[in-house]
Amino acid sequence: EVQLVESGGGLVQPGGSLRLSCAASGFAFINSEMNWVRQAPGKGLEWISYVSSTGSLIYYADSVKGRFTISRDNAKNSLHLQMNGLRAEDTAVYFCGRALVAQVIDNWGQGTLVIVSS
Amino acid sequence: EIVLTQSPGTLSLSPGERATLSCRASQSVIGNYLAWYQQKPGQAPRLLIYGTSSRATGIPDRFSGSGSGTDFTLTISRLETEDFAVYYCQQYGSSPPITFGQGTRLEIK
Protein backbone atom coordinates (compact mmCIF):
# COMPACT_ATOMS: atom_id res chain seq x y z
CA GLU A 1 0.00 0.00 0.00
CA VAL A 2 1.27 3.43 -0.96
CA GLN A 3 1.80 5.64 2.07
CA LEU A 4 2.93 9.24 2.25
CA VAL A 5 3.30 10.84 5.66
CA GLU A 6 4.11 14.52 5.99
CA SER A 7 5.68 16.08 9.06
CA GLY A 8 7.32 19.29 10.16
CA GLY A 9 4.41 21.69 10.11
CA GLY A 10 3.64 24.09 12.90
CA LEU A 11 3.43 27.70 13.96
CA VAL A 12 6.20 30.01 12.76
CA GLN A 13 6.66 33.77 12.81
CA PRO A 14 6.74 35.79 9.61
CA GLY A 15 10.22 35.65 8.11
CA GLY A 16 10.94 32.34 9.76
CA SER A 17 11.78 28.94 8.34
CA LEU A 18 10.39 25.43 8.42
CA ARG A 19 11.43 22.17 6.83
CA LEU A 20 8.67 19.80 5.82
CA SER A 21 9.32 16.13 5.24
CA CYS A 22 7.35 13.42 3.50
CA ALA A 23 8.12 9.78 4.30
CA ALA A 24 7.22 7.43 1.48
CA SER A 25 6.57 3.71 1.58
CA GLY A 26 4.83 0.98 -0.36
CA PHE A 27 6.16 1.94 -3.79
CA ALA A 28 9.37 2.51 -5.70
CA PHE A 29 10.13 6.02 -4.49
CA ILE A 30 13.37 6.11 -6.46
CA ASN A 31 11.37 5.88 -9.70
CA SER A 32 8.66 8.36 -8.75
CA GLU A 33 8.20 12.01 -9.55
CA MET A 34 6.97 13.98 -6.55
CA ASN A 35 5.10 17.21 -5.89
CA TRP A 36 4.11 19.55 -3.09
CA VAL A 37 0.66 21.11 -3.19
CA ARG A 38 -0.83 23.42 -0.57
CA GLN A 39 -4.29 24.52 0.45
CA ALA A 40 -4.94 27.66 2.43
CA PRO A 41 -7.78 27.40 4.96
CA GLY A 42 -11.09 27.28 3.14
CA LYS A 43 -9.42 27.80 -0.23
CA GLY A 44 -8.53 25.75 -3.28
CA LEU A 45 -5.47 23.78 -4.25
CA GLU A 46 -2.20 25.43 -5.24
CA TRP A 47 0.65 23.43 -6.75
CA ILE A 48 3.97 24.72 -5.46
CA SER A 49 6.80 22.40 -6.47
CA TYR A 50 7.83 19.34 -8.49
CA VAL A 51 10.93 17.17 -8.49
CA SER A 52 11.81 14.44 -10.97
CA SER A 53 12.75 10.95 -9.82
CA THR A 54 16.47 11.67 -9.90
CA GLY A 55 16.17 15.20 -8.57
CA SER A 56 17.64 16.62 -11.75
CA LEU A 57 14.51 18.50 -12.78
CA ILE A 58 12.82 20.87 -10.37
CA TYR A 59 10.00 23.35 -10.81
CA TYR A 60 8.47 25.95 -8.51
CA ALA A 61 5.41 28.14 -8.55
CA ASP A 62 6.23 31.82 -8.80
CA SER A 63 4.69 32.38 -5.37
CA VAL A 64 7.46 30.37 -3.66
CA LYS A 65 10.37 30.64 -6.08
CA GLY A 66 13.52 31.83 -4.34
CA ARG A 67 12.11 31.08 -0.88
CA PHE A 68 11.30 27.36 -0.97
CA THR A 69 13.59 24.48 -1.93
CA ILE A 70 12.42 20.99 -2.78
CA SER A 71 14.76 18.05 -2.33
CA ARG A 72 14.65 14.30 -2.06
CA ASP A 73 16.70 11.53 -0.53
CA ASN A 74 16.11 8.39 -2.55
CA ALA A 75 18.18 6.31 -0.14
CA LYS A 76 15.79 7.25 2.66
CA ASN A 77 12.57 7.36 0.62
CA SER A 78 11.95 10.91 1.71
CA LEU A 79 10.91 14.21 0.17
CA HIS A 80 11.57 17.58 1.74
CA LEU A 81 10.49 21.18 1.39
CA GLN A 82 12.70 23.82 2.95
CA MET A 83 10.64 26.96 3.45
CA ASN A 84 12.42 30.24 4.19
CA GLY A 85 11.14 33.79 4.42
CA LEU A 86 7.68 32.60 5.39
CA ARG A 87 4.76 34.97 4.97
CA ALA A 88 1.24 35.01 6.33
CA GLU A 89 -0.02 33.96 2.91
CA ASP A 90 2.00 30.74 3.17
CA THR A 91 -0.40 29.55 5.87
CA ALA A 92 -1.86 26.33 4.51
CA VAL A 93 -2.03 22.59 4.70
CA TYR A 94 0.91 21.22 2.71
CA PHE A 95 0.45 17.93 0.90
CA CYS A 96 3.11 15.80 -0.71
CA GLY A 97 2.00 13.77 -3.66
CA ARG A 98 3.33 11.02 -5.87
CA ALA A 99 2.93 11.70 -9.55
CA LEU A 100 1.22 9.17 -11.76
CA VAL A 101 2.73 11.10 -14.62
CA ALA A 102 4.37 14.52 -14.53
CA GLN A 103 2.26 16.57 -12.11
CA VAL A 104 -0.83 14.37 -12.01
CA ILE A 105 -0.95 13.23 -8.40
CA ASP A 106 -2.40 9.80 -7.78
CA ASN A 107 -1.37 9.40 -4.16
CA TRP A 108 -1.46 12.10 -1.52
CA GLY A 109 -0.32 12.38 2.06
CA GLN A 110 -2.71 13.52 4.76
CA GLY A 111 -1.11 16.96 4.86
CA THR A 112 0.71 19.02 7.47
CA LEU A 113 -0.50 22.41 8.64
CA VAL A 114 1.78 25.42 8.50
CA ILE A 115 0.65 28.59 10.26
CA VAL A 116 2.63 31.77 9.75
CA SER A 117 1.67 34.29 12.39
CA SER A 118 3.18 36.55 14.98
CA GLU B 1 0.02 30.83 -17.01
CA ILE B 2 -3.17 29.02 -17.91
CA VAL B 3 -6.13 30.05 -15.78
CA LEU B 4 -8.83 27.44 -15.24
CA THR B 5 -12.36 28.61 -14.49
CA GLN B 6 -14.80 26.07 -13.12
CA SER B 7 -18.55 26.38 -13.26
CA PRO B 8 -20.86 26.40 -11.56
CA GLY B 9 -19.37 27.38 -8.24
CA THR B 10 -21.93 25.27 -6.45
CA LEU B 11 -24.15 22.58 -7.91
CA SER B 12 -27.15 21.32 -5.95
CA LEU B 13 -28.47 17.94 -7.05
CA SER B 14 -30.14 14.87 -5.64
CA PRO B 15 -28.77 11.33 -5.49
CA GLY B 16 -29.50 9.51 -8.72
CA GLU B 17 -29.26 12.66 -10.82
CA ARG B 18 -26.61 13.42 -13.41
CA ALA B 19 -23.93 16.00 -12.63
CA THR B 20 -22.10 18.01 -15.26
CA LEU B 21 -19.13 20.09 -14.12
CA SER B 22 -17.31 22.46 -16.43
CA CYS B 23 -13.69 23.58 -16.59
CA ARG B 24 -12.69 26.29 -19.06
CA ALA B 25 -9.08 27.18 -19.76
CA SER B 26 -7.80 30.65 -20.67
CA GLN B 27 -5.83 29.07 -23.51
CA SER B 28 -5.66 25.69 -25.13
CA VAL B 29 -4.46 22.90 -22.85
CA ILE B 30 -1.50 21.24 -24.51
CA GLY B 31 -2.06 17.56 -25.16
CA ASN B 32 -5.44 17.84 -23.45
CA TYR B 33 -3.49 17.19 -20.27
CA LEU B 34 -6.40 17.87 -17.94
CA ALA B 35 -7.13 16.05 -14.69
CA TRP B 36 -9.99 16.05 -12.19
CA TYR B 37 -9.83 15.53 -8.44
CA GLN B 38 -12.44 15.04 -5.74
CA GLN B 39 -11.93 16.37 -2.23
CA LYS B 40 -14.04 15.77 0.85
CA PRO B 41 -13.78 17.87 4.02
CA GLY B 42 -10.65 17.14 6.03
CA GLN B 43 -9.27 14.79 3.41
CA ALA B 44 -6.61 14.93 0.76
CA PRO B 45 -7.75 15.18 -2.84
CA ARG B 46 -8.39 12.00 -4.80
CA LEU B 47 -7.47 11.65 -8.46
CA LEU B 48 -10.47 10.78 -10.62
CA ILE B 49 -9.54 11.49 -14.23
CA TYR B 50 -6.33 12.32 -16.10
CA GLY B 51 -5.55 12.96 -19.73
CA THR B 52 -9.08 14.40 -20.07
CA SER B 53 -10.83 11.04 -20.06
CA SER B 54 -8.74 8.28 -18.46
CA ARG B 55 -10.11 7.06 -15.15
CA ALA B 56 -7.63 6.57 -12.34
CA THR B 57 -7.30 3.21 -10.65
CA GLY B 58 -10.39 2.23 -8.71
CA ILE B 59 -12.60 5.06 -9.94
CA PRO B 60 -16.16 3.90 -10.75
CA ASP B 61 -17.32 4.17 -14.33
CA ARG B 62 -20.08 6.61 -13.39
CA PHE B 63 -17.29 9.21 -13.53
CA SER B 64 -16.29 10.28 -17.01
CA GLY B 65 -14.30 13.12 -18.51
CA SER B 66 -14.46 14.74 -21.89
CA GLY B 67 -13.44 17.83 -23.82
CA SER B 68 -10.55 19.31 -25.70
CA GLY B 69 -8.76 22.58 -26.27
CA THR B 70 -10.19 24.98 -23.73
CA ASP B 71 -13.43 23.29 -22.66
CA PHE B 72 -13.57 20.23 -20.46
CA THR B 73 -16.32 18.42 -18.60
CA LEU B 74 -16.56 15.98 -15.72
CA THR B 75 -19.78 13.99 -15.76
CA ILE B 76 -21.11 11.85 -12.93
CA SER B 77 -23.83 9.75 -14.49
CA ARG B 78 -25.87 8.85 -11.41
CA LEU B 79 -24.95 10.57 -8.19
CA GLU B 80 -24.39 8.55 -5.07
CA THR B 81 -24.29 10.10 -1.61
CA GLU B 82 -20.50 9.68 -1.40
CA ASP B 83 -20.05 11.81 -4.54
CA PHE B 84 -21.02 15.03 -2.80
CA ALA B 85 -17.74 16.88 -2.44
CA VAL B 86 -15.61 19.58 -4.03
CA TYR B 87 -14.17 18.90 -7.48
CA TYR B 88 -11.07 20.51 -8.96
CA CYS B 89 -9.72 20.45 -12.48
CA GLN B 90 -5.99 20.72 -13.11
CA GLN B 91 -3.99 21.33 -16.25
CA TYR B 92 -0.50 19.89 -16.57
CA GLY B 93 0.24 20.40 -20.24
CA SER B 94 1.84 23.79 -19.83
CA SER B 95 4.00 23.37 -16.79
CA PRO B 96 5.37 24.98 -14.87
CA PRO B 97 3.21 26.19 -13.43
CA ILE B 98 0.58 23.54 -13.00
CA THR B 99 -2.72 25.22 -12.33
CA PHE B 100 -5.92 24.17 -10.64
CA GLY B 101 -9.40 25.53 -11.07
CA GLN B 102 -11.06 27.18 -8.09
CA GLY B 103 -13.35 24.19 -7.51
CA THR B 104 -17.00 23.26 -7.84
CA ARG B 105 -18.89 22.29 -4.72
CA LEU B 106 -21.39 19.52 -5.37
CA GLU B 107 -23.99 19.55 -2.63
CA ILE B 108 -27.07 17.51 -1.85
CA LYS B 109 -30.29 19.25 -2.82
Q: What is the CA radius of gyration of chain A?
A: 13
- Give the span between the Cα atoms of A107 and A97, in whole angstroms: 6
B99 close to A (CB below 8 A): yes
pLDDT for res B78: 95
In A55-91, the DSSP E strands lie at 58-60, 68-73, 78-83
Which of B73, B46, B49 has the alpha carbon at shortest distance from B61?
B49
Q: pLDDT value at position A99?
A: 93
Residue of B nearest to A41 (CA): B42
pLDDT of residue B90: 97
Nearest one of B87, B62, B86, B89 to B76, comparing CA atoms: B62
**What pLDDT does residue B95 have?**
74
Q: Which positions in chain A touch B57 (Cβ < 8 Å)?
A: 106
> Does the pLDDT value for residue B97 go beyond 90?
no
pLDDT digits (tens, 9 = 90+) for A70-99: 999 999 999 999 999 999 999 999 999 999
Select from A14, A23, A39, A22 the least CA-distant residue to A93. Answer: A39
* pLDDT tens readout for residues A19-29: 999 999 999 99
Lowest average pLDDT, out of A2-6, A92-96, B72-76, B93-97, goes to B93-97
Q: Residues A98-112: pLDDT tens digits?
A: 999 878 999 999 999
**What pLDDT is recorded for position B94?**
79
Distance (Å, rounded) from C-alpha B84 to C-alpha B81? 6
Q: If you measure CA to CA, which chain A residue comes closest to B36?
A: A104
- Do residue B50 and residue A100 have CB atoms under 8 angstroms apart? yes
**Computed from CA positions of residues B10, B15, B17, B20, in that sequence, does the dihedral angle turn out positive or negative?**
positive
